[in-house]
Amino acid sequence: MKVLVVYAHPNPKSFNHAVLEEFTRGLEVGGHTHEIVDLYAIDFDPRVKLEELAQFNGGHVAQDALDHQQKVASADALAFIHPMWGWSIPAILKGWLERVFSHGFAYRQSEKGMEGLLKHSKALVLSTAGGPEAYYKSFGYFDAHKKIANGFFNPSGINNVEYTCFYTVSAVTDEERKKYLETAFRLGKEF
């Protein structure tokens, strides 16, 4: 399977980057090919500009978004690796989704309603969080995170979405971090 991996963290020495490395190593061991889109490394502009508003109605799409749409279209499946900031996905990733998963490419509206146009077999979201799992779940933050992401995936026809979050990454033991990275590797290998 060819997997497009969209990565959103500014620090190449972060735990998120270690997750990226182990996940993609797992993809390779599992026999999958992959391409990484590192949104910070390419300085992706997440802003929808005035001249791009037409894309929401099936109009003009900027060239950089078209290039990313081609990457999405050529992949069999998608993976996203990012921290959970403000109980959500990083702004740069949300902007990427807004600009790339546009009307006419990812979905279209008709008299029957919303029709998803993407045919990916699945998507995986690997995120990290600074606090404990109970905190994120008891206040509904993890569910809010999923709803925002699913707001892009589901209308686009991607309904097989798996979420894995590594909690309390700044305070866990080395052994727990090792287990998290083993999980990232396994998820790549079994993708």
| Per-residue pLDDT tens over the stretch 128-137 | 998 888 888 8
pLDDT class of 56 with cuts at 50, 70, 90: confident
Classify domain 2-189 by CATH number.
3.40.50.360
Query: Percent of the chain scored above 90 by pLDDT?
Result: 71
How confident is the prediction for the chain on average, in pLDDT?
92
Asked if pLDDT for residue 117 goes beyond 80, the answer is yes
Q: Which two tokens stand for residue 30?
A: 């599992």
Whole-number pLDDT of residue 131: 86
Whole-number pLDDT of residue 95: 95
CA distances from 51 to 44, 59, 62, 64 (A): 17, 10, 9, 13
Whole-number pLDDT of residue 54: 77
Q: What is the pTM for the complete model shown? A: 0.94
Whole-number pLDDT of residue 120: 93
CA distances from 132 to 9, 35, 90, 125, 165 (A): 20, 31, 19, 18, 10
Whole-number pLDDT of residue 25: 98
Answer yes or no: are the C-beta atoms of 96 and 48 closer than 8 Å: no
127 or 140, greater pLDDT:
127
| Per-residue pLDDT tens over the stretch 129-181 | 988 888 888 888 888 888 888 889 999 999 999 999 999 998 889 999 999 99
| Per-residue pLDDT tens over the stretch 64-97 | 999 999 999 999 999 999 999 877 899 999 999 9
pLDDT class of 59 with cuts at 50, 70, 90: confident
Q: Is 109 helix (H, G, I), strand (E, B) or coil?
A: strand
Query: ∠ at Cα 56 (157, 126), nearest 5°?
Result: 45
pLDDT class of 60 with cuts at 50, 70, 90: confident
